[in-house]
Structure 1
């Protein structure tokens, strides 16, 4: 039995602890703990309960002890852009906001008074999204400036959890890049930009690459979980970890990291920052080994997850796919990236209202709603591929779909049809696998990214979907 590694993968709707090890050159996975996650609605705000999340991290670690499978290291990945501000005693200042909170509404206008959007994109290569950290910090500056004055450290959420485990504060690069405050040429914070925007530059710690040691567990944590290990940085932005696990050794092709969000793009050794990329709202997020994830954020499965939830989770996703297929002739489509779908009070009503507003038939049944969502998503993928190929100046013959959405066979087929490209689907646990790969390369069980991707290809089933003729 090889060494165990622990991937703590926390998404916006659930988290899981996955143990991984190499056996006969193949990666074996075992999910040992899973927990619910979500933003808390409190006094009209959308907040993360970081103490609860940290408790869940420890609960999953205790499971390792119960199973007698003690990992040599662990790494934590989460979603992007959200952070904590710490005071001089390392206590959290103010609330820990979730990215769907509306405090950032109009903060793009406030930021543009200091720096035009075109210049912000030219400097960072990061697409404009109203929830980017650059706008979240502008909200703090405008609404609660005393918090910025008292802040001593800014940590993205996975870095904060690493600090709670080890007592060491490190800032990881891939998640840092999503703030829209990083210089893609230096792989470090753009201090001049930070000063211009009036944020305190000394709260930003030097950015560290995945594969850096954070530290050993603090004595009190060792006592609580019953063992010690090394905490290591993975690509702590979950998409950075997921893209590491694209099962294509050359790393040269289109991918969709499909979950609550769909991140669709290519991997590039240099950022692609030009007018066309800016107009199409493509981003250049940091990847493993100084690579760039040139991609577009698409609303993803958030819409169907919300619809399902509003029907009291009465249907499985497989049933929703079947019902969507039965209603495949329902003609209406929505722009899945329309802001009205980001955090509506009621997703079903938001979809109906959009169809009404655009003069299309209004979906009434669950099947019609599911059909609108899935077909609109596939249509968005088709449009994104066209834009991507135009900007990249080349065509691609296939798309790799990784992450939880790779299990949605109906959507995979729609994607193949909408893009005219062969779709390879899997692995489903791409984020956790990428998290583990970074640890295995750090431990020298795998030599580099290329061999790690080949290992993924050898270890997991990949399904093929061919465009309908």
Structure 2
């Protein structure tokens, strides 16, 4: 009898992927292809997404793994994407205006002038979401101010995951976790805020019914089944914003903070409570809806690997990626903690600043390690802030993302926080998280957590003061 699998359609800003996962969390097939924005015909500096290109890339990925998965039974499909982006559509789901990308600069002025509609603090108190120019609210205001006739013609606003789900099923929905990124949602009430929508002049009828993660949306349409070379009537289950499924897929329990380390470091926690009244007091703060209902994901973010890439370009520009990173780490490993008094003094969020205490003994390894230490101090401060916002006390930190491959930085973080740092050995945590909810929707287990417990999680631990990390199996 054929083994059962689910397919996760992962639409990332850099890559489109289709990954097949069985009910033990094992990846049986995967394919990826590059994804990218396009320049807008109105302004070459504006960025848009082509829905047709995204769908074609999913088709390519499905075709690439078709021979492998043909020996399995595809029980369900789920879609996860980056947040905030979407488009106005007519009753047939056709785009009335292109998908404005989160990379597009056109919404910066809208955010800067949001006070003419309502105060930024009030906006965050209600929505929880921080002030980022790519938020959905600023796209809709831009359309209202610059393309008002498009808004008048629109039947619905579909987030990008829902645009894909509509093409798969012909049913318009709103993924709950995507709505939670929009800055249009009432965080505590878990519904679109009539107050916010009234202030900005956007009708609440624009948003289709909300579906929770693991909820069945519909079944795969025959036309799409033919294009994807998949059987008809495969159930499609809701997922949504990739951040929430990365948190769940990391294995994080409640009140266990997770740091996604990349160009930006994003520190979040899954919690039952959050004090939204203090969120506006902290720059870079935000709060989104967890993949599970009645839970929240407060967090903070700051520039991280972006600064390290600047260091690389200054001191290691003669070496190529990715080999250069091993060289940077090796040279910094010989530098003692404290870097001989060399200190990187900066505003991490704006990347202003420089070094204090340099000497003739300060090699490039010293400069690199001093930045790693500064960023780790920033993490320590932000973790204390997050503990206040969500009223918890961290006992360990889960670390994911590209930065988690830096063994020196991981150890510095453990030492600075005086907490164990654990790094999942599994690399596809976002996809694993989404797959948990697809299997839950299929009835494999009574909860998504029980599905996750079936998966074989292994972590690499970094302990304060330790010289060598060690592996430990958790589930």
**Into which bin does the TM-score normalised by the smaller protein fall?**
0.7 to 0.9
Query: 1:278 — aligned with what?
Result: 280
Structure 1's unaligned 5+ residue stretches are 339-350
Change (3 A) 1:424 1:308: same
Change (3 A) 1:104 1:288: same
Is 1:468 the counterpart of 2:473? The answer is no
Pick one of 336, 344, 348 that aligns with 1:332: 344
Distance across 2 between alignment mates of 1:452 and 1:301 = 33
Query: 1:314 — aligned with what?
Result: 321
Q: C-alpha offsets along residues 239-290 of structure 1, whole Å, 9 cap, x if unaligned?
A: 1111112325x43311113345433122112343122x32124322111221
Pick one of 17, 21, 38 that aligns with 1:40: 38
Please tell me whether the aligned partners of residues 93 and 166 of structure 2 are also in contact (alpha carbons under 8 angstroms).
no
Question: Alignment RMSD, CA only?
Answer: 3.0
Distance across 2 between alignment mates of 1:300 and 1:168 = 40
Cα displacement (A) at 1:414: 2.5
Query: 2:407 — aligned with what?
Result: 409
Distance across 1 between alignment mates of 2:97 and 2:6 = 34
Is 1:252 the counterpart of 2:255? The answer is yes
Q: How many residues align?
A: 445
The 5 A counterparts of 1:364-379 are 371=369, 374-379=372-377
Query: 2:245 — aligned with what?
Result: 241
Q: C-alpha offsets along residues 385-405 of structure 1, whole Å, 9 cap, x if unaligned?
A: 121123344422210113444
Cα displacement (A) at 1:45: 1.2
Q: C-alpha offsets along residues 114-155 of structure 1, whole Å, 9 cap, x if unaligned?
A: 211121122112222222111222222233333222222111
Change (3 A) 1:74 1:377: farther
Cα displacement (A) at 1:110: 2.5
Query: 1:162 — aligned with what?
Result: 165
Q: C-alpha offsets along residues 327-366 of structure 1, whole Å, 9 cap, x if unaligned?
A: 784643544432xxxxxxxxxxxx6xx346x9898xx998
Cα displacement (A) at 1:384: 0.8
Pick one of 94, 97, 100 that aligns with 1:94: 97
Pick one of 38, 52, 75 that aligns with 1:72: 75
Cα displacement (A) at 1:446: 2.8
Pick one of 122, 137, 142 that aligns with 1:139: 142
Structure (1 or 2) with the greater strand fraction: 2
Secondary structure of the structure 1 residue equivalent to 2:78: strand
Is 1:265 the counterpart of 2:268? The answer is yes
With structure 2 as the length reference, what TM-score do the two structures score? 0.84
Please tell me whether the aligned partners of residues 33 and 60 of structure 1 are also in contact (alpha carbons under 8 angstroms).
yes
Distance across 2 between alignment mates of 1:306 and 1:171 = 39
With structure 1 as the length reference, what TM-score do the two structures score? 0.85
Structure 2's unaligned 5+ residue stretches are 467-475
Secondary structure of the structure 1 residue equivalent to 2:125: helix
Q: C-alpha offsets along residues 385-429 of structure 1, whole Å, 9 cap, x if unaligned?
A: 121123344422210113444333233222212322110111332
Change (3 A) 1:370 1:40: farther
Distance across 1 between alignment mates of 2:463 and 2:77 = 38
Report which of the two structures shows the higher radius of gyration computed on alpha carbons: 2
Cα displacement (A) at 1:431: 0.3
Query: 1:28 — aligned with what?
Result: 26
